[in-house]
Chains A and B, each alone.
Chain A
Amino acid sequence: MSLKHKTPMLDELEKGPWPSFVTEMKKAAKKSPMAEDGLGQLEKSYQTKLGYWKHGGIVGVLGYGGGVIGRYSDLPEEFPEVAHFHTIRINQPSGWYYTTKALREICEIWDRYGSGLTNMHGSTGDLVLLGTNTESLEPLFAEYSSRGWDLGGSGSCLRTPSCCLGQSRCEWANYDTMDVIYNLTQEYQDELHRPAFAYKFKIKAAGCACDCVASIARSDCAIIGTWKGDILIDQAEVKKYADGGMNIQDEIVGMCPTECVSYDGKELKINNPQCNRCMHCIAKMTRALRPSGERGATICIGSKAPIVVGSLLSWVVVPFIKVEAPYTELKELIARIIEWWDDNAKPRERIGELIEVKGMRPFLEAIGVPPQPQQVKEPRKDPFIFFKDEDFEKIYTKDKY
């Protein structure tokens, strides 16, 4: 069957070995007039080098303020089928695991009401359904929610939390990321579906410092797994790596950032108190090295993309917290963090930007976390030091420095 619109520019992107999104859009276009007009409008963008989507307008499902992102064509006469072409975010299961039965069910419903186009997955983690009209939103929600699927977040809300696959398939995970994220998502259903914050707030859970979900760069609250014990060494496995051609001196010893690893050609040694748990040696010698002892997480706060006042990476706020079900300590900490931000932020101000404006001290005091050297790369360089009266009471009663 031939499609309505000629797409000479896009056809170029069906050539070459990498999987083609144009091929995907054409597959959908054969079944859906919406996808067909979407393809036509995209070809026009390629011709003119301009986008033709409008945002804004309130669309959604009854009782929710998010989960649907209104999208409208700027050219509804030319591409009437995409006059409305809204995005729906479905809250993904932890770790993005599916059974084929569940995936088929999601797709069959989407084929009935939408364009048949998806993103597996969106940047925040949701399963994204691309393109449907306003009338289909309530039926879609009834179909999905009655089968156990809920919408994700959008707007100034707690965005859909996400996590790495953690202990389900990874030996490095220091806590159960999938369970924590499931629990937090359930805990915060109201904040997720009914945007009441100053701006968005993202939570991501990574099992270790490899950070496969980019939590340190992409979440206001990053929960990054760590441990307190020694790195256990299996010397027989070390020997196998050496025999297999690994240059342990250059690749492991020479690349340790704290110079705490040594190797005499026979035995690998780690000066554990000096290790900063960066994960390099463990990741390169997965059969020989593994963490041990007390497990938990480091809580880092504040990261975001450049809008509005520049990118931020998250800052270490709580160097170590236990992360064990039912996660009471973690949940209470997150509640205090969100409460302080919600009480103080201006519209469209992320928590990292708010901490920059207000200072770290009011934030730490509000959430009940003491200052610790693990929170900084180095202490302050300038002499413009704020003091409170109560600081002097402490200073004057101290015997030592």
Chain B
Amino acid sequence: MALPERQTDIGPPHYEQFLPPVIKKNYAKWKYHEVLDPGTMVHVAESGDEIYTVRVASPRILATETIYEICDLADKYCDGYLRFTSRNNIEFLISDKSKIDPLKKELKDRKYTVGGIGPRISNVVHTQGWVHCHSACTDASGLVKAMMDELYEYFTEKELPNKVRLAVACCVNMCGAVHCSDIALVALHTKIPVVDNDKVGKMCEIPTVVGSCPTTAIRPNPKEKSITINYDKCMYCGNCFTVCPPISIKDAERDGVAIVVGGKICSLRSDPKFSKLAIPFFYNEPPRWPKIVAAVKNILDVYARNARKHERVGEWIERVGWEEFFKLTGIEFTHQHIDDFTFMRDTLRTSAAFKWA
């Protein structure tokens, strides 16, 4: 079959052709919105027009077969319009109010998960993991699935003090806002890379490899036409492996996962914040990582019991203090919790005022 003629540099199609008529008509003229239930909201325009949104979870990895099914539903109930959110949810956009309940019923019958709106857990931003990434120290999709099976009711129903944004990154590259999430998992290497001198000399540009190291742990090794790594300086970031694949950093027993907490990206009430280390290391326990899931559940439960309404995880911890956070959660405080990299000066305590556990 002959191929159609290719075009280049055309950019994405114009968004306007994908907007439901009620959105086109009321563009920039919305007045307010209301969350009607954990999976439904209504946006009301100055004109009085309404658009209803039903939000559905997705595992982010979708087979085309599922997308066809989603399209069938959108045709039946939404005149063929739908969208996705920045957290990988599917949103059905409904102009005809009478179609909401039938859509929700059919979604339920077909085992879709409706929810994620309001002071709850929305979908989990995550990375490719073992499914498709070269630098993964864990499987992001598997961790998300195991974690969300446990926290399911916080998506579909139960309220929390505020939104809790979860994220999973399968290495420190963090293709996702893990570094600014309420509770996040980040996978780590913890072992000095192994250098294959023969291949490094043939495949890699030595100055680039030397330059890739943030702690200047890498020096040229002219004798071997390769590089050497200073064991005391390496903090296992894996950047050298990314620029030079024969520097191997994977290790089945020493790759694992840390939990970080207290980040946020919005400016509501307090400034955006980085997530901070709560638990430095769990070894990988596929397929369900039970220790990690239990630790996340514990942190979430302690937050839910102790935070004031509208406080995000980080705001609650800042109010009560990190020493209180470690006490309430029962998490052990270790050498790893004390920053010895770029943020050390900002993070050591410089006051004699603190709480006792």
Contacts and interface: CB of A to CB of B under 8 A. Distances in A.
Interface of A: 9-10, 12-13, 15-22, 24-25, 27-28, 31, 35, 38, 42, 45-46, 48-56, 61, 63-64, 71, 85, 87, 91-104, 107-108, 110-111, 116-125, 130-131, 138-139, 141-143, 145-150, 162, 164-165, 167-171, 173, 176, 178, 182, 185-186, 189-190, 193, 209-214, 216-218, 250-251, 255-257, 278-280, 283-284, 286-287, 290, 305-311, 313, 346-348
Contacts of A210: 266-268
A24 B62 contact: yes
Contacts of B333: none
Nearest to B309: A251
Given A121-B84, A257-B269, 12 more contacts: A17-B152, A18-B113, A24-B59, A24-B62, A138-B3, A142-B3, A143-B3, A143-B4, A169-B43, A169-B51, A171-B31, A218-B177
A130 B61 contact: yes
B295 interface: no
Interface of B: 3-15, 17-19, 23, 27-28, 30-34, 43, 51, 53, 57-68, 70-72, 74-75, 80-86, 88, 90, 112-113, 125, 127-137, 139, 141-142, 144-146, 148-149, 152, 155, 169, 172-180, 208, 211-212, 214, 237, 239, 242-243, 245, 250, 252-253, 255, 263, 265-270, 272, 274, 284, 286-288, 308-310, 341-343
Contact of A150 (B12, B17, B83, B211): B12
A99 B17 contact: yes
Nearest to A24: B63
24 contacts: A21-B141, A24-B59, A38-B132, A49-B284, A85-B132, A100-B80, A120-B58, A145-B8, A146-B7, A167-B27, A169-B30, A182-B12, A190-B9, A210-B267, A216-B180, A217-B272, A251-B310, A283-B268, A305-B169, A305-B179, A307-B237, A308-B239, A310-B342, A313-B272
Contacts of B309: 250-251
A92 B86 CA distance: 12
B266 A209 contact: yes
Nearest to A209: B267
B212 A118 contact: no
Contacts of A16: 145-146, 149, 152
A279 B30 contact: no
B32 to A, nearest CB: 5
Contacts of B144: 18, 21
Contact of B134 (A71, A92, A290): A71
B131 A107 contact: no
Nearest to B341: A310
- For A24, A53, A173, A347, the residue with the greatest tally of chain B CB atoms inside 10 Å of its CB is A24
A223 to B, nearest CB: 14
B34 A286 contact: yes
A130 B63 CA distance: 10
Given A48-B252, A50-B252, A171 B32 contact: yes
A28 B65 contact: yes
Contacts of A213: 86
B134 A55 contact: yes
A21 B68 contact: no
Contacts of B134: 51, 53-55, 71
Contacts of A278: 267-270
B6 A145 contact: yes
Given A94-B12, A120-B62, A55 B245 contact: yes
A124 B266 CA distance: 18
A93 B12 contact: yes
Nearest to B273: A313
A13 B287 CA distance: 7
B83 A19 contact: no
Contacts of A142: 3-6
Contacts of A283: 268
Nearest to A64: B8
A138 B173 CA distance: 30
A71 B23 contact: no
B301 to A, nearest CB: 18
A171 to B, nearest CB: 4
Given A142-B6, A211-B267, A51 B83 contact: no
A309 B15 contact: no
A144 B59 CA distance: 25
A233 to B, nearest CB: 13
B274 A313 contact: yes
A191 B326 CA distance: 47
Contact of B68 (A25, A101, A104): A104
Contacts of B84: 96, 98, 120-121
Nearest to A254: B308
B61 to A, nearest CB: 4
Contact of A214 (B65, B86, B112): B86
A279 B7 contact: no
B310 A107 contact: no
B82 A100 contact: yes
A284 B19 CA distance: 27
B86 A212 contact: yes
Given A21-B145, A24-B66, A217-B179, A97 B18 contact: yes
